[in-house]
Amino acid sequence: MSDENKIVITGLGLITSIGIGKNEFWNNLIKGQTNISPVSAYDTSEYDTHYGGEIKNFDYKNYIPEIKDKSYGLASIMGIVAAKFALYDAGLSYDKINKNRIGVIVGSTGGESKSIEIVCTHLAEQNNFTKLDKNIIKSASPSSVSANISSYFNFSGYANTIGTACSAGNYAIINAFNRLKKNEEDIIIAGGVDVFSIFAYAGFSRLKSTAPEKCRPFDKNRKGIIVAEGAGFLILETLEHALKRNAYIYAEVAGYGLTCDAFHITGSDEEGLGASKSMKKCMEMSKIKIDEVDYISAHGTGTQRNDKIETLAIKKVFGDYAYKIPISSIKSMLGHSMGAASSIEAAATCLVLKNNIIPPTINYEEKDPECDLDYVPNTMRKKNVNIAISNSFAFGGNNATICLKKLN
Protein backbone atom coordinates (compact mmCIF):
# COMPACT_ATOMS: atom_id res chain seq x y z
CA MET A 1 0.00 0.00 0.00
CA SER A 2 1.38 3.38 -0.98
CA ASP A 3 1.57 6.16 1.60
CA GLU A 4 -0.77 8.35 -0.42
CA ASN A 5 -3.52 5.82 0.14
CA LYS A 6 -3.30 6.17 3.92
CA ILE A 7 -6.36 7.66 5.58
CA VAL A 8 -5.76 10.47 8.03
CA ILE A 9 -7.70 12.64 10.45
CA THR A 10 -7.26 16.36 9.98
CA GLY A 11 -10.06 18.01 11.92
CA LEU A 12 -12.02 17.51 15.13
CA GLY A 13 -15.38 18.95 16.16
CA LEU A 14 -16.71 18.26 19.65
CA ILE A 15 -19.76 19.18 21.67
CA THR A 16 -19.64 17.52 25.07
CA SER A 17 -20.62 18.07 28.67
CA ILE A 18 -17.05 19.07 29.51
CA GLY A 19 -16.42 21.33 26.58
CA ILE A 20 -17.84 22.92 23.48
CA GLY A 21 -15.05 22.73 20.94
CA LYS A 22 -11.82 20.82 20.89
CA ASN A 23 -9.72 23.07 23.13
CA GLU A 24 -12.16 23.40 26.03
CA PHE A 25 -12.88 19.66 25.80
CA TRP A 26 -9.20 18.68 25.91
CA ASN A 27 -8.21 21.11 28.66
CA ASN A 28 -10.97 19.78 30.89
CA LEU A 29 -10.35 16.18 29.92
CA ILE A 30 -6.75 16.12 31.04
CA LYS A 31 -7.68 17.91 34.26
CA GLY A 32 -10.15 15.13 35.04
CA GLN A 33 -13.01 17.60 34.95
CA THR A 34 -16.54 16.30 34.98
CA ASN A 35 -19.88 18.09 34.69
CA ILE A 36 -22.04 15.11 35.49
CA SER A 37 -24.84 16.56 37.54
CA PRO A 38 -28.51 16.09 38.48
CA VAL A 39 -30.61 15.76 35.35
CA SER A 40 -32.45 18.99 34.61
CA ALA A 41 -34.23 18.19 31.36
CA TYR A 42 -36.56 15.60 32.91
CA ASP A 43 -38.13 14.69 36.20
CA THR A 44 -36.18 11.63 37.34
CA SER A 45 -37.87 11.23 40.71
CA GLU A 46 -39.41 7.89 39.76
CA TYR A 47 -36.03 6.39 38.88
CA ASP A 48 -33.40 4.98 41.21
CA THR A 49 -30.75 7.37 39.95
CA HIS A 50 -30.84 11.03 39.01
CA TYR A 51 -27.54 12.06 37.44
CA GLY A 52 -26.68 12.60 33.81
CA GLY A 53 -24.11 14.04 31.44
CA GLU A 54 -26.22 16.80 29.93
CA ILE A 55 -24.69 19.63 27.95
CA LYS A 56 -26.19 22.57 29.77
CA ASN A 57 -24.25 25.42 28.22
CA PHE A 58 -24.82 24.83 24.53
CA ASP A 59 -26.88 27.39 22.65
CA TYR A 60 -26.82 26.56 18.98
CA LYS A 61 -27.84 30.13 18.10
CA ASN A 62 -24.30 31.17 18.97
CA TYR A 63 -23.02 29.09 16.06
CA ILE A 64 -25.80 28.72 13.52
CA PRO A 65 -28.21 31.59 14.26
CA GLU A 66 -29.93 31.18 10.91
CA ILE A 67 -31.36 27.76 11.81
CA LYS A 68 -35.00 27.67 12.77
CA ASP A 69 -35.93 25.05 15.35
CA LYS A 70 -38.67 23.28 13.45
CA SER A 71 -36.67 22.52 10.38
CA TYR A 72 -34.04 20.54 12.26
CA GLY A 73 -34.08 18.19 15.22
CA LEU A 74 -31.63 18.71 18.07
CA ALA A 75 -29.28 15.94 16.96
CA SER A 76 -29.04 17.50 13.51
CA ILE A 77 -28.32 20.89 15.06
CA MET A 78 -25.57 19.49 17.27
CA GLY A 79 -24.22 17.55 14.30
CA ILE A 80 -24.12 20.65 12.11
CA VAL A 81 -22.26 22.67 14.76
CA ALA A 82 -19.79 19.86 15.46
CA ALA A 83 -19.23 19.39 11.71
CA LYS A 84 -18.66 23.13 11.39
CA PHE A 85 -16.08 23.01 14.19
CA ALA A 86 -14.36 20.06 12.50
CA LEU A 87 -14.21 21.76 9.11
CA TYR A 88 -12.80 24.89 10.71
CA ASP A 89 -10.26 22.86 12.67
CA ALA A 90 -9.19 21.17 9.45
CA GLY A 91 -8.68 24.53 7.78
CA LEU A 92 -11.43 23.84 5.28
CA SER A 93 -13.69 26.57 4.06
CA TYR A 94 -16.90 24.88 3.00
CA ASP A 95 -17.54 27.57 0.46
CA LYS A 96 -14.41 26.64 -1.42
CA ILE A 97 -14.36 22.84 -1.44
CA ASN A 98 -15.89 20.58 -4.09
CA LYS A 99 -19.29 19.90 -2.55
CA ASN A 100 -19.93 16.90 -4.74
CA ARG A 101 -16.88 15.13 -3.34
CA ILE A 102 -17.72 15.41 0.34
CA GLY A 103 -19.35 12.74 2.44
CA VAL A 104 -21.20 12.97 5.74
CA ILE A 105 -21.51 9.79 7.80
CA VAL A 106 -23.40 9.88 11.07
CA GLY A 107 -23.54 7.23 13.75
CA SER A 108 -26.38 7.36 16.25
CA THR A 109 -28.50 5.09 18.40
CA GLY A 110 -31.73 6.20 16.75
CA GLY A 111 -31.16 9.65 15.35
CA GLU A 112 -33.45 12.35 16.66
CA SER A 113 -34.34 11.06 20.15
CA LYS A 114 -36.13 14.24 21.16
CA SER A 115 -38.31 14.24 18.04
CA ILE A 116 -39.11 10.56 18.57
CA GLU A 117 -40.14 11.32 22.13
CA ILE A 118 -42.35 14.24 21.03
CA VAL A 119 -44.04 12.17 18.32
CA CYS A 120 -44.69 9.18 20.56
CA THR A 121 -45.87 11.29 23.49
CA HIS A 122 -48.15 13.39 21.33
CA LEU A 123 -49.78 10.30 19.86
CA ALA A 124 -50.17 8.67 23.26
CA GLU A 125 -51.83 11.76 24.74
CA GLN A 126 -53.86 12.98 21.75
CA ASN A 127 -54.43 9.76 19.82
CA ASN A 128 -53.76 11.64 16.59
CA PHE A 129 -51.31 14.03 14.96
CA THR A 130 -53.73 16.83 14.17
CA LYS A 131 -51.90 19.44 16.18
CA LEU A 132 -48.34 18.26 15.57
CA ASP A 133 -46.16 19.93 12.97
CA LYS A 134 -45.34 17.36 10.31
CA ASN A 135 -41.74 18.59 10.16
CA ILE A 136 -41.26 17.25 13.67
CA ILE A 137 -42.63 13.88 12.58
CA LYS A 138 -40.40 13.87 9.51
CA SER A 139 -37.37 14.77 11.61
CA ALA A 140 -37.93 11.68 13.78
CA SER A 141 -36.54 9.52 10.99
CA PRO A 142 -32.86 8.63 11.59
CA SER A 143 -32.21 9.36 7.88
CA SER A 144 -32.81 13.01 8.62
CA VAL A 145 -29.61 13.56 10.61
CA SER A 146 -27.08 12.85 7.87
CA ALA A 147 -29.40 14.53 5.37
CA ASN A 148 -29.75 17.69 7.46
CA ILE A 149 -26.01 18.02 8.06
CA SER A 150 -25.23 17.49 4.37
CA SER A 151 -27.98 19.82 3.21
CA TYR A 152 -26.99 22.60 5.61
CA PHE A 153 -23.59 22.75 3.91
CA ASN A 154 -25.07 21.96 0.49
CA PHE A 155 -22.92 18.82 0.18
CA SER A 156 -24.08 16.38 -2.48
CA GLY A 157 -21.54 13.59 -2.35
CA TYR A 158 -22.47 10.85 0.04
CA ALA A 159 -24.51 10.72 3.21
CA ASN A 160 -25.21 7.83 5.54
CA THR A 161 -26.82 7.24 8.93
CA ILE A 162 -25.63 4.17 10.80
CA GLY A 163 -27.64 2.86 13.74
CA THR A 164 -25.33 0.52 15.63
CA ALA A 165 -25.99 2.05 19.04
CA CYS A 166 -22.94 2.71 21.22
CA SER A 167 -20.43 1.72 18.53
CA ALA A 168 -22.05 3.83 15.81
CA GLY A 169 -19.37 6.53 15.91
CA ASN A 170 -16.64 3.99 15.17
CA TYR A 171 -18.78 2.44 12.44
CA ALA A 172 -19.07 5.89 10.84
CA ILE A 173 -15.29 6.32 10.90
CA ILE A 174 -14.85 2.85 9.40
CA ASN A 175 -17.37 3.59 6.63
CA ALA A 176 -15.40 6.77 5.87
CA PHE A 177 -12.11 4.84 5.88
CA ASN A 178 -13.38 2.35 3.32
CA ARG A 179 -14.84 4.98 1.02
CA LEU A 180 -11.69 7.08 1.03
CA LYS A 181 -9.60 3.98 0.26
CA LYS A 182 -11.68 3.64 -2.90
CA ASN A 183 -11.28 7.34 -3.70
CA GLU A 184 -15.03 7.84 -3.61
CA GLU A 185 -14.78 11.23 -1.91
CA ASP A 186 -12.07 13.79 -1.19
CA ILE A 187 -13.16 14.50 2.35
CA ILE A 188 -15.55 12.79 4.71
CA ILE A 189 -17.04 14.22 7.89
CA ALA A 190 -17.64 11.18 10.07
CA GLY A 191 -18.78 10.81 13.64
CA GLY A 192 -21.63 10.35 16.01
CA VAL A 193 -24.31 12.33 17.75
CA ASP A 194 -26.99 11.62 20.32
CA VAL A 195 -29.06 14.00 22.43
CA PHE A 196 -30.04 13.29 25.99
CA SER A 197 -32.84 10.75 25.83
CA ILE A 198 -35.38 9.92 28.49
CA PHE A 199 -35.90 6.63 26.65
CA ALA A 200 -32.25 5.74 27.19
CA TYR A 201 -32.44 6.99 30.75
CA ALA A 202 -35.51 4.89 31.52
CA GLY A 203 -34.18 1.86 29.69
CA PHE A 204 -30.79 1.76 31.34
CA SER A 205 -32.38 2.52 34.68
CA ARG A 206 -34.71 -0.45 34.33
CA LEU A 207 -31.78 -2.63 33.34
CA LYS A 208 -30.27 -1.57 36.69
CA SER A 209 -27.27 -0.25 34.80
CA THR A 210 -27.18 3.38 35.90
CA ALA A 211 -24.81 4.75 38.51
CA PRO A 212 -26.15 6.93 41.34
CA GLU A 213 -23.77 9.87 40.96
CA LYS A 214 -20.41 8.98 39.47
CA CYS A 215 -19.26 6.78 36.67
CA ARG A 216 -16.40 4.64 38.01
CA PRO A 217 -15.03 2.51 35.19
CA PHE A 218 -12.99 -0.45 36.41
CA ASP A 219 -13.36 0.52 40.08
CA LYS A 220 -14.40 -2.28 42.42
CA ASN A 221 -17.52 -0.37 43.51
CA ARG A 222 -18.63 0.75 40.09
CA LYS A 223 -22.39 0.87 39.76
CA GLY A 224 -23.04 1.52 36.10
CA ILE A 225 -23.27 4.14 33.39
CA ILE A 226 -24.24 7.77 33.44
CA VAL A 227 -26.52 8.55 30.51
CA ALA A 228 -25.16 11.52 28.57
CA GLU A 229 -25.26 13.32 25.24
CA GLY A 230 -22.77 14.72 22.78
CA ALA A 231 -21.46 15.07 19.27
CA GLY A 232 -18.05 14.19 17.90
CA PHE A 233 -17.15 14.62 14.24
CA LEU A 234 -13.82 14.05 12.55
CA ILE A 235 -12.55 15.10 9.15
CA LEU A 236 -11.01 12.21 7.25
CA GLU A 237 -9.15 12.35 3.95
CA THR A 238 -6.32 10.57 2.19
CA LEU A 239 -2.79 11.45 3.16
CA GLU A 240 -2.15 12.66 -0.37
CA HIS A 241 -5.07 15.06 -0.21
CA ALA A 242 -4.06 16.30 3.23
CA LEU A 243 -0.45 16.91 2.24
CA LYS A 244 -1.48 18.75 -0.91
CA ARG A 245 -3.37 21.32 1.11
CA ASN A 246 -0.82 21.39 3.93
CA ALA A 247 -3.30 20.18 6.51
CA TYR A 248 -2.38 19.40 10.08
CA ILE A 249 -2.62 15.65 10.57
CA TYR A 250 -3.70 14.31 13.93
CA ALA A 251 -3.40 10.64 13.14
CA GLU A 252 -3.63 7.92 10.56
CA VAL A 253 -6.57 5.56 10.77
CA ALA A 254 -4.43 2.47 10.38
CA GLY A 255 -7.18 -0.12 10.49
CA TYR A 256 -10.18 -1.50 12.28
CA GLY A 257 -11.90 -4.61 13.55
CA LEU A 258 -15.61 -5.40 13.49
CA THR A 259 -17.21 -8.41 15.12
CA CYS A 260 -20.56 -9.53 16.44
CA ASP A 261 -20.98 -11.21 19.81
CA ALA A 262 -24.16 -13.10 18.91
CA PHE A 263 -24.55 -13.77 22.63
CA HIS A 264 -27.10 -11.51 24.29
CA ILE A 265 -28.93 -8.44 23.07
CA THR A 266 -27.63 -6.18 25.84
CA GLY A 267 -24.55 -7.97 27.14
CA SER A 268 -21.19 -9.00 25.76
CA ASP A 269 -20.26 -12.65 25.78
CA GLU A 270 -18.76 -13.54 29.14
CA GLU A 271 -15.42 -14.67 27.82
CA GLY A 272 -14.84 -11.48 25.88
CA LEU A 273 -14.49 -13.42 22.63
CA GLY A 274 -16.20 -10.85 20.41
CA ALA A 275 -14.34 -7.96 22.03
CA SER A 276 -10.94 -9.64 21.84
CA LYS A 277 -11.50 -10.65 18.23
CA SER A 278 -12.42 -7.07 17.39
CA MET A 279 -9.10 -5.86 18.81
CA LYS A 280 -7.15 -8.66 17.12
CA LYS A 281 -8.70 -7.98 13.73
CA CYS A 282 -7.98 -4.28 14.17
CA MET A 283 -4.34 -4.92 14.90
CA GLU A 284 -3.99 -7.38 12.02
CA MET A 285 -5.39 -4.90 9.56
CA SER A 286 -3.25 -2.12 11.03
CA LYS A 287 -0.19 -4.40 10.84
CA ILE A 288 0.84 -3.68 14.41
CA LYS A 289 2.20 -5.99 17.06
CA ILE A 290 0.85 -6.10 20.57
CA ASP A 291 3.90 -4.43 22.08
CA GLU A 292 3.54 -1.47 19.74
CA VAL A 293 0.26 -0.33 21.32
CA ASP A 294 0.95 2.61 23.61
CA TYR A 295 -2.60 3.35 24.77
CA ILE A 296 -6.08 1.87 24.81
CA SER A 297 -9.16 4.10 24.91
CA ALA A 298 -11.54 1.74 26.63
CA HIS A 299 -15.25 1.36 26.06
CA GLY A 300 -15.25 1.43 29.85
CA THR A 301 -18.91 2.14 30.61
CA GLY A 302 -18.64 1.57 34.34
CA THR A 303 -20.90 -1.47 34.61
CA GLN A 304 -19.65 -4.45 36.58
CA ARG A 305 -20.06 -6.75 33.60
CA ASN A 306 -18.73 -4.61 30.77
CA ASP A 307 -15.54 -3.52 32.49
CA LYS A 308 -14.73 -7.04 33.63
CA ILE A 309 -15.26 -8.46 30.16
CA GLU A 310 -13.28 -5.71 28.47
CA THR A 311 -10.40 -6.33 30.88
CA LEU A 312 -10.56 -10.04 30.12
CA ALA A 313 -10.62 -9.35 26.39
CA ILE A 314 -7.60 -7.04 26.60
CA LYS A 315 -5.69 -9.73 28.47
CA LYS A 316 -6.66 -12.32 25.87
CA VAL A 317 -5.20 -10.14 23.14
CA PHE A 318 -2.15 -8.70 24.83
CA GLY A 319 -1.20 -11.38 27.34
CA ASP A 320 1.32 -10.13 29.90
CA TYR A 321 1.85 -6.95 27.89
CA ALA A 322 -1.69 -5.92 28.87
CA TYR A 323 -0.28 -4.86 32.23
CA LYS A 324 2.06 -2.40 30.56
CA ILE A 325 -0.50 -0.55 28.47
CA PRO A 326 -2.20 2.49 29.96
CA ILE A 327 -5.94 2.22 29.52
CA SER A 328 -8.43 4.95 30.27
CA SER A 329 -12.14 5.49 29.98
CA ILE A 330 -13.21 9.06 29.36
CA LYS A 331 -16.79 8.00 30.07
CA SER A 332 -15.73 8.49 33.68
CA MET A 333 -15.83 12.22 32.96
CA LEU A 334 -18.40 12.54 30.18
CA GLY A 335 -20.82 9.80 30.96
CA HIS A 336 -22.02 7.60 28.11
CA SER A 337 -23.02 9.71 25.12
CA MET A 338 -24.42 6.69 23.29
CA GLY A 339 -23.90 6.87 19.52
CA ALA A 340 -21.50 9.79 19.91
CA ALA A 341 -19.31 8.07 22.50
CA SER A 342 -16.93 6.21 20.22
CA SER A 343 -16.36 9.16 17.88
CA ILE A 344 -15.73 11.48 20.84
CA GLU A 345 -13.29 8.88 22.14
CA ALA A 346 -11.62 8.69 18.71
CA ALA A 347 -11.23 12.47 18.74
CA ALA A 348 -9.83 12.34 22.27
CA THR A 349 -7.37 9.66 21.14
CA CYS A 350 -6.22 11.96 18.32
CA LEU A 351 -5.48 14.59 20.96
CA VAL A 352 -3.62 11.99 23.03
CA LEU A 353 -1.38 11.31 20.03
CA LYS A 354 -0.87 15.01 19.41
CA ASN A 355 -0.07 15.99 22.99
CA ASN A 356 1.44 12.78 24.37
CA ILE A 357 -0.84 13.08 27.36
CA ILE A 358 -3.22 10.33 28.44
CA PRO A 359 -6.47 11.44 30.12
CA PRO A 360 -7.32 9.77 33.39
CA THR A 361 -10.05 7.40 34.44
CA ILE A 362 -11.50 9.43 37.26
CA ASN A 363 -13.50 8.27 40.30
CA TYR A 364 -11.14 5.31 40.65
CA GLU A 365 -10.81 4.53 44.35
CA GLU A 366 -10.61 0.82 44.93
CA LYS A 367 -8.96 -1.85 42.83
CA ASP A 368 -11.09 -4.72 41.57
CA PRO A 369 -9.10 -7.98 41.42
CA GLU A 370 -10.92 -8.79 38.19
CA CYS A 371 -9.91 -5.45 36.69
CA ASP A 372 -6.26 -5.27 37.55
CA LEU A 373 -4.74 -3.39 34.64
CA ASP A 374 -3.38 0.14 34.53
CA TYR A 375 -6.39 2.43 34.10
CA VAL A 376 -4.49 5.71 34.61
CA PRO A 377 -6.38 6.41 37.80
CA ASN A 378 -7.52 9.96 38.52
CA THR A 379 -4.55 11.90 37.15
CA MET A 380 -3.44 12.45 33.58
CA ARG A 381 -0.15 10.94 32.50
CA LYS A 382 2.48 12.20 30.14
CA LYS A 383 3.66 9.48 27.82
CA ASN A 384 4.89 9.27 24.29
CA VAL A 385 1.97 7.71 22.41
CA ASN A 386 2.50 6.66 18.81
CA ILE A 387 -0.14 3.98 18.41
CA ALA A 388 -3.50 3.67 20.15
CA ILE A 389 -6.61 1.58 19.79
CA SER A 390 -10.13 2.64 20.72
CA ASN A 391 -12.85 0.17 21.64
CA SER A 392 -16.64 0.29 21.45
CA PHE A 393 -18.99 -2.57 22.31
CA ALA A 394 -22.69 -2.03 21.76
CA PHE A 395 -26.12 -3.56 22.27
CA GLY A 396 -26.85 -6.06 19.56
CA GLY A 397 -23.30 -7.35 19.83
CA ASN A 398 -21.88 -4.64 17.57
CA ASN A 399 -18.16 -4.51 18.43
CA ALA A 400 -15.88 -2.01 16.71
CA THR A 401 -12.22 -1.19 17.36
CA ILE A 402 -10.14 1.36 15.45
CA CYS A 403 -6.39 1.92 15.44
CA LEU A 404 -4.93 5.42 15.29
CA LYS A 405 -1.26 5.98 14.55
CA LYS A 406 0.86 9.06 14.81
CA LEU A 407 2.22 9.86 11.39
CA ASN A 408 5.94 10.52 11.22
Nearest to 219 by CA among 120, 296, 129, 328: 328
Question: Would you say 198 or 350 has its CB closer to other proteins?
Answer: 198
The amino acid occupying position 314 is I
Is position 392 an interface residue for other proteins (rule: CB under 8 A)? no
Position among 204, 233, 250, 295 found at the interface with other proteins (CB under 8 A): 204
Segment interacting with other proteins (CB under 8 A) among 122-130, 232-240, 346-354, 360-368: 122-130
Virtual torsion, Cα 147, 54, 117, 137, nearest 10 deg = -30
Segment interacting with other proteins (CB under 8 A) among 89-97, 159-167, 231-239, 372-380: 159-167
Tell whether the torsion through CA atoms of 378, 36, 359 and 300 is positive or negative: positive
Position among 176, 188, 225, 258 found at the interface with other proteins (CB under 8 A): 258
- How many residues make contact with other proteins (CB under 8 A)? 81
Considering just the CA atoms, what is the radius of gyration of the chain in Å?
Answer: 20
Is position 306 an interface residue for other proteins (rule: CB under 8 A)? no
Shortest Å, Cβ 276 to other proteins: 12
Contact by Cβ (8 Å): 401, 282: yes
Is position 131 an interface residue for other proteins (rule: CB under 8 A)? no
Question: Would you say 89 or 261 has its CB closer to other proteins?
Answer: 261
Question: Would you say 258 or 283 has its CB closer to other proteins?
Answer: 258
Position among 281, 305, 316, 381 found at the interface with other proteins (CB under 8 A): 281
Shortest Å, Cβ 399 to other proteins: 9
Count Cβ atoms below 10 Å from residue 86 Cβ, excluding itself. 27
Contact by Cβ (8 Å): 400, 167: yes
Q: 262's torsion region: left (phi>0), alpha (psi -120 to 50) or beta?
A: left
Residues 91-110 that bind other proteins (CB under 8 A): 99-100, 104, 108-110
Segment interacting with other proteins (CB under 8 A) among 154-162, 289-297, 303-311, 323-331: 154-162
Helix (H, G, I), strand (E, B), or coil: what is residue 259? strand
Position among 35, 148, 328, 329 found at the interface with other proteins (CB under 8 A): 148
Nearest to 223 by CA among 302, 331, 301: 302
Contact by Cβ (8 Å): 191, 343: yes
Residues 362-391 that bind other proteins (CB under 8 A): none
Check if 336 is active-site: yes
Q: Residue 298 CA to chain centroid, in angstroms?
A: 11
Is position 345 an interface residue for other proteins (rule: CB under 8 A)? no
Contact by Cβ (8 Å): 252, 404: yes
**Catalytic pick among 299, 350, 371, 403:** 299
Tell whether the torsion through CA atoms of 196, 199, 205 and 208 is positive or negative: negative
Residues 162-181 that bind other proteins (CB under 8 A): 162-165, 171, 175, 178
Is position 134 an interface residue for other proteins (rule: CB under 8 A)? yes
Position among 10, 49, 160, 401 found at the interface with other proteins (CB under 8 A): 160
Check if 299 is active-site: yes
Question: Would you say 332 or 401 has its CB closer to other proteins?
Answer: 401
Spatial separation of the C-alpha atoms in residues 17 and 102, rounded to whole Å:
29
Spatial separation of the C-alpha atoms in residues 337 and 144, rounded to whole Å:
19
Residue 210 phi, psi dihedral angles, 5° rounding: -105, 140
Is position 332 an interface residue for other proteins (rule: CB under 8 A)? no
Q: Are strands 230-238 and 7-16 parallel, antiparallel or unpaired?
A: antiparallel
Question: Would you say 96 or 182 has its CB closer to other proteins?
Answer: 182
Question: Would you say 28 or 167 has its CB closer to other proteins?
Answer: 167
Shortest Å, Cβ 102 to other proteins: 10
Segment interacting with other proteins (CB under 8 A) among 12-20, 115-123, 295-303, 306-314: 115-123
Helix (H, G, I), strand (E, B), or coil: what is residue 138? helix
Contact by Cβ (8 Å): 343, 264: no
Query: Residues 44-83 vs other proteins: string with x where CB under 8 A?
Result: x-xxx-----------------------------------
Segment interacting with other proteins (CB under 8 A) among 6-14, 18-26, 219-227, 271-279: 271-279
Spatial separation of the C-alpha atoms in residues 327 and 360, rounded to whole Å:
9
Report the catalytic residues.
Answer: 166, 299, 336
